């Protein structure tokens, strides 16, 4: 057909209430020898596309101003004690799978572009030490926007009456002390200790189950964590620490990121970073002064968010994070710090 060229640089169609009909066709019907600036509607994709001189590219469309964001927010785990209570896991809240304490998934958040949202990755609690406080310390809370997960409870030292309450509970050190409780919808209680001399501590509570009770000759192991595939890969996090044991009794094992306990005068294992696991507890040797040994530190928490590819996150100062792509979504993982983020 004849080619009509418009030589003016101004076309006024303001008196026409209808729409301008562009060239249209399938991907297979794209021009064989297009020129830069050529514009058409692709009926296969439903997108308007322009030839940039090298390839056909879709015209950028502004995404909606509000969008849905899934999250996994795990707090820092509690520190294990010097003789013999283990630390509990950090609280576990998610919209992408099962939450801690046996709770169902929470609702995803509806967020807006160009709005600041707070992100805090909770640090793990410090393990106890023989020359000072024999208790561990509670883990720190993790936060994403309105979602806050509670730090794991601390493990109780031999002379302490109660294990710490937290996202998941910290364990008691003997049969005469009380273990800490977990938080509803975030984690489970710790196991109980046994004995007075010798003694064995309970296992720290996990996001997926109660820490096990100590029995004669064996300390309790940590409660299980909870798995999530929010990143595209299934990973289990937020397990409890293992209890410590006196003399040659058997120490408990940490679970799903939680640190292992020890027997005798040996330092315990710290939990794995960014799992929110509880720290393991030490044992001791009866009748001896406790040497310079340490309970295991709780694992730091993590904040992971999943959102549509059309959006880009800007990470503010004070936060450590990285972004990957999984299918049609982006996944941003924050591993340390506190600050704000925005989306565009």
Q: What is the mean pLDDT of the chain?
A: 91
* Residue 191 in domain: yes
Q: Would you give the DSSP letter of residue 115? A: -
* Residue 12 in domain: no
* Residue 214 in domain: yes
Cα gap 143→301, rounded to integer Å = 10
Q: How many Cβ atoms from other residues are within 10 Å of residue 44's Cβ?
A: 10
**Looking at the predicted structure, is the pLDDT value of residue 1 above 50?**
no
**Looking at the predicted structure, is the pLDDT value of residue 323 above 70?**
yes
* Residue 273 in domain: yes
For residue range 241-282, what is the model confidence (pLDDT) as tens digits? 999 999 989 999 999 999 999 999 999 999 999 999 999 999
* 165 lies in the same domain as 28: no
Whole-prediction pTM value? Answer: 0.82
Cα gap 289→302, rounded to integer Å = 38
User: With pLDDT > 90 as the criterion, what percentage of the chain qualifies?
Assistant: 71
* 128 lies in the same domain as 33: no
**Looking at the predicted structure, is the pLDDT value of residue 138 above 50?**
yes
For residue range 153-188, what is the model confidence (pLDDT) as tens digits? 999 997 666 899 999 999 998 887 899 999 999 999
* 51 lies in the same domain as 186: no
Higher pLDDT, 41 or 6: 41
- What integer pLDDT is reported at residue 219 of this predicted model? 96
What is the rounded average pLDDT of the residues 282-288?
87
* 39 lies in the same domain as 72: no
**Of 115, 33, 30, 120, the residue nearest 76 (C-alpha):** 120
**Which contiguous run of DSSP H or E holds residue 343?**
strand 329-343
Structurally, how many domains does the chain consist of? 2
Give the count of alpha carbons within 13 A of 313, CB side only.
Answer: 29
* Residue 9 in domain: no
Cα gap 98→319, rounded to integer Å = 26
Higher pLDDT, 148 or 45: 148
Q: Which of 25-29, 73-77, 123-127, 324-328 has the lowest mean pLDDT?
A: 25-29
* 37 lies in the same domain as 106: no
Range of the domain at 28: 24-58
Higher pLDDT, 62 or 216: 216
What is the DSSP code string of 273-286?
TTTTPPPP-B-B-T
């Amino acid at each position: 057909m004849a080619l009509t060229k418009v030589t003016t640089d101004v076309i006024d169609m303001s008196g026409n209430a209808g729409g301008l009909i562009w060239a249209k066709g399938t991907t297979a019907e794209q021009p064989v020898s297009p020129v830069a600036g050529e514009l058409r509607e692709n009926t296969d994709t439903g997108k308007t596309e322009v030839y940039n001189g090298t390839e056909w590219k879709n015209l950028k469309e502004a995404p909606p101003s509000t969008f849905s964001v899934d999250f996994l927010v795990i707090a820092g785990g509690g520190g294990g004690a010097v003789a013999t209570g283990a630390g509990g896991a950090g609280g576990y809240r998610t919209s992408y799978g099962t939450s801690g304490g046996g709770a169902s998934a929470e609702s995803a958040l509806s967020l807006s572009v160009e709005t600041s949202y707070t992100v805090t990755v909770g640090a793990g609690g410090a393990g106890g030490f023989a020359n000072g406080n024999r208790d561990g310390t509670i883990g720190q809370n993790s936060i994403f926007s309105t979602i806050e997960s509670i730090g794991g409870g601390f493990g109780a030292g031999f002379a302490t009456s109660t294990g710490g309450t937290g996202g998941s509970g910290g364990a008691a050190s003997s049969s005469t002390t009380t273990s800490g409780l977990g938080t509803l919808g975030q984690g489970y209680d710790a196991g109980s200790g046994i004995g007075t001399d010798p003694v064995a501590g309970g296992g720290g509570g996990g996001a997926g189950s109660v820490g096990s009770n100590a029995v004669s000759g064996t300390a309790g192991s940590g409660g299980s964590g909870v798995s999530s595939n929010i990143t595209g890969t299934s990973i289990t996090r937020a397990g409890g620490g293992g209890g410590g044991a006196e003399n040659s009794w058997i120490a408990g094992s940490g679970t799903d990121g939680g640190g292992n306990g020890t027997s005798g005068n040996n330092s315990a294992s710290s939990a794995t970073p960014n799992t929110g696991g509880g720290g393991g507890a030490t044992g001791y040797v009866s009748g001896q002064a406790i040497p310079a040994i340490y309970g295991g530190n709780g694992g730091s928490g993590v904040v992971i968010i999943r959102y549509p590819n059309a959006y880009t996150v800007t990470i503010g100062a004070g936060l450590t994070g990285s972004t990957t792509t999984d299918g049609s979504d982006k996944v941003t993982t924050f591993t340390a710090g506190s600050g704000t983020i925005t989306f565009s």
